[in-house]
Structure 1
Amino acid sequence: MSQSKSKKRKRVRDTNFAHYRHPRWWPTWLTIGLIWLLARLPLRVQWGVGRLIGELAYRTLASRRHICRVNIDLCFPELSDRDREALVRRTFHSNGIGIMEISLAWFRNPETLRHLTQVHGLEYVDEALKKGKGILLLGGHYSTLDLGGSLVSLFIDADVMQRDHNNPLMNAVMTRSREQRYGVALNSKDLRGLFKRLRANRIVWYAADQDYGRKGIVFAPFFGVPAASITATARIAERSDCVVIPFSHFRRDNGIGYDIYFHPPLEAFPSGDDEADAARVNAAIESEVRKHPDQYLWMHRRFKTRPSRDDPGFYARKRP
């Protein structure tokens, strides 16, 4: 590896703000300042602004709208064309609110939202911790991703795995804010750190619901569609002997507030059958997505990798 690449990799995880005084970082600081100001807005105002952002994105981001529409057409064939398009639009609104909620997650004490947050199934976490094996929280990419994690920290002491931001300063702010809520923010590729935390009887937030290509995968159904599904979840559980607990976090549809759900641990997991284990993971996530389907990240090309390289892709846009 060249020296320049080595320095760049180290800089990504540099969380010392004093190292970002150079004028080249000023535009990023202005963006961070705006995010900080947004955190001061009342929650209802944030939700309203978020819907406007989502509506603007729905109208202007044709490629993302197409990906979202393809995913929803594949996963909800039982809905009418009109209802599926309405779900696409609501998905953009929900993810617009999620963008606004990043400011809350990074710059507001979650205690200010405790009275608006209800947790369900916390007893499953308490019982699992008594076994002393560590807990892998099986989450998903919901639009409440950042804020949900911040609110979870009100009820449990956990660590998180994250994909580091490409902008080193933005990553420093994100990492420091998360480590104020969680114990440790692990890089998503830091498996050694993950095993170390699990063996110390820690709780670690983990998501396995995206398409990462053909390496280390099997194909398992997700909403009835064969989806490239990583086997890492089963490998982690096998090597660490941890407990795997599905969980989710959603914005309420019928009023201002949030709900966090912990579910019974996956029994006899892993089973030794990679496809069966991946199917169980996908089914657990699918069950949660169906509660609030608009609050899922349908803009991601979840079905990009097909079972056969000769299979036509789903996301090619038809020319008029």
Structure 2
Amino acid sequence: MEKPHFRVALLHPRYWLTWFLFGIWYLVAQLPYGWQMSLGRLIGRLMLRFAHSRRLIAERNLALCFPELPSKKREQLLRRNFASNGIALMETGMAWFRSSRWLRRRFTIEGLEHLQQPYEQGQGVVLMAMHFTTLEIGAAFMSMSHPVDGMYRPHKNPVYDYMQRKGRERHGESSNVLQRKDVRGMLRALQKGRAVWYAPDQDYGIKQGVFAPLFGIQTATVTGTSRFARVGRAKVVPYTVTRLEEKGIYLVRVHPPIDEIPSGDEYRDAVLVNQFVEARMRENPSQYMWVHRRFKTRPEGEESFYPPRKKRRKKRKI
């Protein structure tokens, strides 16, 4: 994709509120790190109180995945998790608006050789990410450490779309952006020896996936990791980003490749992906995005784990 370009049409009055909010976001991102953490925790408490549907989803997910925890412990975990979600908003501002020099002081990286070795050999890498709350700032750290092509979903608001792309692309001059649906583009990048960011840990339905166990639950799991590795002749290299809040830094860990993928069996590969993801979720449960309906798609005949969504009322035509 071409680099994002500013257009005069983005200054239309209908977008003034969006620009104003981005201005506030930019100013907040310049605050000292500790202040932003406190503000993020406050936002998390407000989300816990007022984002009722998201709270119900997170509560259900934690009950499904950690049934062995007493209810009081799960409630404490829920509160820490919502605080982490609020902090994620601050971290997105840091990733998009703080200088690369400032950001470089905020993280350490381990295991980068697992990414560099296949790159030096001209082999592509499926850089397997997971939906932790540090996802946005973690992507910035990775693009500052190694050339990475990212998957991108356009936003309906053109101003937000422009700012999002500018924020995400500014740290990696040699990195490219691929439309999320551009499967051929991703495969070409892998075949050229590029590292492509890919997160397989959300429920995209069963059309492009299989049911594989996650926390002992049959879970709709995309088989893209397996297919991209096979067709792109690429390594699957996972990475994680952990917020060490007491130290004010982040630990970026590039894990060894999952060499068993592709195995030739998409179900077996999905099981391996879920096993790895589950292990990371258990290591750092408070920083995972439990507010997503991870177990939304159920095998035929099973009831939904989540309450039905309220249907939006259609506006009457005058």
* TM-score normalized by the length of structure 2: 0.92
Check conservation: 1:110, 1:150, Cα contact below 8 A: no
Alignment of 1:223 onto 2:212? no
Deviation by residue 1:144-170 (Cα, 9 ceiling, x = unmatched): 111111112221121111222221210
Task: Name the residue aligned to 1:3.
Answer: none
In 2, the alpha carbon distance for the partners of 1:192 and 1:19 equals 31
Choose which of 17, 21, 33 in structure 1 pairs with 2:11.
Answer: 21
Choose which of 11, 26, 48 in structure 1 pairs with 2:38.
Answer: 48
How is 1:96-245 mapped onto 2 (pairs within 5 angstroms)?
96-182=86-172, 183-245=175-237
In 2, the alpha carbon distance for the partners of 1:114 and 1:122 equals 15
- What root-mean-square deviation, in Å, do the aligned CA atoms of Structure 1 and Structure 2 show? 1.6
Alignment of 1:283 onto 2:275? yes
* TM-score normalized by the length of structure 1: 0.91
Please say which of residues 148-157 and 134-143 is displaced more in the overlay.
148-157
- Structure 2 gap ranges (5+): 309-318
In 2, the alpha carbon distance for the partners of 1:130 and 1:60 equals 50
In 2, the alpha carbon distance for the partners of 1:81 and 1:247 equals 31
2:254 aligned partner, one-letter code: F
Check conservation: 1:210, 1:229, Cα contact below 8 A: yes
1:141 aligned partner, one-letter code: H
* 3-state SS of 1:290 partner: helix
Check conservation: 1:134, 1:201, Cα contact below 8 A: yes
Check conservation: 1:139, 1:285, Cα contact below 8 A: no
Deviation by residue 1:64-98 (Cα, 9 ceiling, x = unmatched): 10000000111111211111111111110001000
In 2, the alpha carbon distance for the partners of 1:284 and 1:109 equals 33
In 2, the alpha carbon distance for the partners of 1:222 and 1:121 equals 26
Shift, 1:277, TM fit: 0.4
Shift, 1:315, TM fit: 0.7
Aligned residues: 305
CA pair 295-17 structure 1, distance change in 2 beyond 3 A = farther
In 2, the alpha carbon distance for the partners of 1:14 and 1:147 equals 20
2:203 aligned partner, one-letter code: D
* 3-state SS of 2:154 partner: coil
Choose which of 275, 288, 301 in structure 2 pairs with 1:296.
Answer: 288
- Structure 1 gap ranges (5+): 1-9
CA pair 32-316 structure 1, distance change in 2 beyond 3 A = same
Check conservation: 2:220, 2:297, Cα contact below 8 A: yes
